[in-house]
Amino acid sequence: MGQRPITFLRQVVALCTYPNLLDSPSFPEDAKKRARRILQDCGGNSLGSYSASQGINCIREDVAAYIERRDGGVPADPDNIYLTTGASDGITTILKILVSGGGKSRTGVMIPIPQYPLYSAVISELNAIQVNYYLDEENCWALYVNELRRSLNEAKAYCNPKVLCIINPGNPTGQVQSRKCIEDVIHFAWEEKLFLLADEVYQDNVYSEGCQFHSFKKILYEMGPEYYNNVELASFHSTSKGYMGECGYRGGYMEVINLHPEIKGQLVKLLSVRICPPVSGQAAMDIVVNPPVPGEESYSQFIKEKESVLNNLAKKAKLTEDMFNTVPGINCNPLQGALYAFPRIFIPSKAIEEAKAHKMAPDMFYCMKLLEETGICVVPGSGFGQREGTYHFRMTVLPPVEKLKILLEKLKDFHIKFLEKYA
């Protein structure tokens, strides 16, 4: 999509991969310092060695320090940090350890609709029970406890709901949950003894004025010991999103708190089966949580690159939202965070009939027509889940501004012609 890598991250990973470069004057001292620290904790001082299953020790320490800084001093223990192969690996591992039972006692996992399809896929793979709760599209994809309660109570008839998953900022919906919302969700989880999964991989991607990312861990701590000592929480972060976009490195971490010591032992055993996450991905994760700081040689270039990416994304999010809302038959909520738009589209009944004749979901039919006629590829809302009778698609806001403008114009023209054709 044309986003340039962050120089400092690539420099450190290059130095770790080929330590002979540590003698090169082409690399800044702060990058060399980080590379040496990482290599000292690697077996045989090499990125090519297996690491501990939980991840390289000094990187877990850096993740804990990052969480403490992010959350304004809330303590984080490196022993509760697990480095993972992207956030997906952590999510899958935690769900594996939580799913049990059979019949009506089978574990139910509550997920938002719309959701990121990793969740429905893993739930299906583990033969767990998917329990849907709906985000409120009319109120900017808000999450209400009344809806969580409805979903939970209905699910108790056919499974044992034990896990509540929240994606914040949202994917595909791009909303950022308010502090009050997070407090309500934590209280609900505490009341119902649910294990909380906080998917926070877009925590660096918050654009709307008045919106702020609050981590579940921080709010949980601030709600007091009754909550902080009892609610089980796993939260996830990744090198793939934010301003880094380094998805190919497969770097991520999870912080798991309040896990019973015996279950923690089983978690480490489960992680040991897959040996360790990619060590180069662990090194990349270290730079996400331990970037250059003021006074270091690379700081000014790093901050310039980081702000350029994030400011660009904010500009593109606003451009996309504004453009969609000028098109008849398209409605797009404010894009507060993450990397996507998830507009609602009106599909005429004639097009719905034709989609049925092709044995396709109406939004899939729409997206295929769009692809065939314009070359633009978006994902139908039915892939993420949506309320019955509503249709959406998910589109990334990653292309460069000039390309994005052309893409949005083409999409607008296509939609107007589509409405005319099937009116």
pLDDT of residue 252: 94
Which segments of 290-400 does DSSP mark as H helices, in order?
A: 299-324, 349-357, 362-374
CA dist list (Å): 206 to 175, 200, 351, 399? 9, 11, 36, 18
Question: Residue 245's pLDDT is what?
Answer: 85
Can you list the domains of the chain with their CATH numbers? Answer: 50-289 (3.40.640.10), 327-421 (3.90.1150.10)
- Three-class SS state of 337: strand
Q: What is the pLDDT, as a whole number, of residue 247?
A: 86
Rg, Å, the chain Cα set: 22
**In whole angstroms, what is the distance from residue 49 CA to residue 388 CA?**
51
Report CA-CA distances (Å) from 219 to 183, 238, 294.
7, 21, 28
Return d(Cα 224, Cα 232) in angstroms, integer: 14
pLDDT of residue 156: 93
Q: What is the pLDDT along the chain (423 residues), one digit of tens a residue?
A: 888 899 999 999 999 999 999 999 999 999 999 999 999 998 998 999 999 988 999 999 999 999 999 999 999 999 999 999 988 899 999 999 999 888 899 999 999 999 888 899 999 999 999 999 999 998 889 899 999 999 999 999 999 999 999 999 988 888 899 999 999 999 999 999 999 999 999 998 888 778 889 999 999 999 999 999 999 999 999 998 888 888 888 999 999 999 998 989 999 998 988 889 999 999 999 999 999 999 999 999 999 999 998 888 889 999 999 999 999 999 999 888 888 999 999 999 999 999 999 999 999 999 999 999 999 999 999 989 888 889 999 999 999 999 999 999 999 999 999 999 998
Complete DSSP assignment for 197-222? EEE-TTTT-B-STT-----HHHHHHH
Q: How far apart, in whole angstroms, are the C-alpha atoms of residue 363 and residue 44?
A: 54
Contacts of 391 by beta carbon, 8 Å cutoff, 6+ apart: 344, 345, 346, 347, 362, 363, 366, 380, 381, 382
- With tokens 């601030």, the residue in question is 222
Name the one residue in this structure whose structure tokens are 């450190």.
12
Distance CA 46, CA 15 (A): 11
404 residue type, one letter: L
DSSP state for residue 194 in the 8-state scheme? P
Q: Are the C-beta atoms of residues 51 and 43 closer than 8 Å to each other?
A: yes
Distance of CA 164 to the CA centre of its chain: 15
pLDDT at 337: 84
Instruction: Tell which residue, 111, 113, 153, has the closest CA to residue 131.
Output: 111
Question: What contacts 57, CB < 8 A, 6 or more positions away?
Answer: 41, 78
Q: How many angstroms separate the CA atoms of 78 and 410, rounded?
A: 49
